[in-house]
Amino acid sequence: MDQQRHTQKKLDNGNIHTSPKISTHLDIEVHGAQVYSHKVLEEFQEEVKYSIDTCKIRGFSEAGSLEVTTVRDANRDRNYQVTYCQDTFKATCSCRMLERKGIICRHVIWIYSSNGVKKIPELYVVNRWCKDEIRMKMFDYNGEATEDVDIIDGKQIAMSVMWSEIHKTVAMLMGKLKADVDNFSSVIREFKEKLSLYGSPMNKQQQLKKIFGCSASQDITILPPKQ
């Protein structure tokens, strides 16, 4: 978990403090670089470049405010139907890339560029792909928020200070006489006895019961396979 948090923070730092290279003249790519994380932006930029290089119009019809355009994708050697609403900027494509991956496809990008749309509509900016995504809080088995949250309450600060003091004290005992270690151990035992007045800590089975809301089954029906 520590490694995952470290990797996530490293990626977040890169998203915030570095600027990706813009590869085309389209304003919609610039907007993508402003909202998307670097990893997702790479895929979005590929769609932007393909929209310029491989997409051509093959048919067009109107129904009120809706425009239905047949777009030829030379790279895939196929035609796709793109429905676009001028009033709401909503667009759907028969390739269904938006539904599958959460980013607009080259065919929709081509339609937006043809209609002078310079930004990705907010409706199609998926939060989980954004560089400023708000992470969900993480909780331990007691239902308490961990330290990796946006807001830290007074209890968490006090617990952190207490752990720091314990670690510093143990570090001071390194290389000391056995008598000093024994004295410290006796203090810890007295401290544990005082804490016992607030109830004993939960064992593993109790922790699992609190998480899942039920006790573990005593009938074991799934066994390790024979070698």
Residue partners of 18: CB distance under 8 A and separation at least 6:
38
Task: Answer with the residue of higher pLDDT: 205 or 90.
Answer: 90
- Strands 91-93 and 66-73, by their bridges, are unpaired
Mean confidence (pLDDT) of the chain: 81
Question: In whole angstroms, what is the distance from residue 31 CA to residue 18 CA?
Answer: 15
Q: Given a cut of 80, is residue 122 above it in pLDDT?
A: yes
- What pLDDT, in 10s, does the model give residues 181-225? 788 888 888 888 887 777 666 777 887 787 778 887 788 888 899
pTM: 0.54
Q: Decide: residue 153, CB within 10 A, 0-12 exposed, 13-18 middle, 19+ buried.
A: exposed
The backbone torsions φ and ψ at residue 81, rounded to the nearest 5 degrees and listed phi first, read -95, 125
**H helices within 69-200, ranges in order?**
97-101, 106-114, 154-172, 178-195
pLDDT tens, residue by residue, 128-166: 888 765 444 454 444 455 554 444 556 666 776 777 777
User: CA-CA distance, 149 to 142, in Å (whole number)?
Assistant: 16
3-class DSSP assignment, residue 98: helix
Count the Cβ atoms, other than its own, within 10 Å of residue 203: 9
**Residue that has been written with the tokens 């389209």 in this structure:** 26
Q: Which comes out higher in pLDDT, residue 176 or 87? A: 87
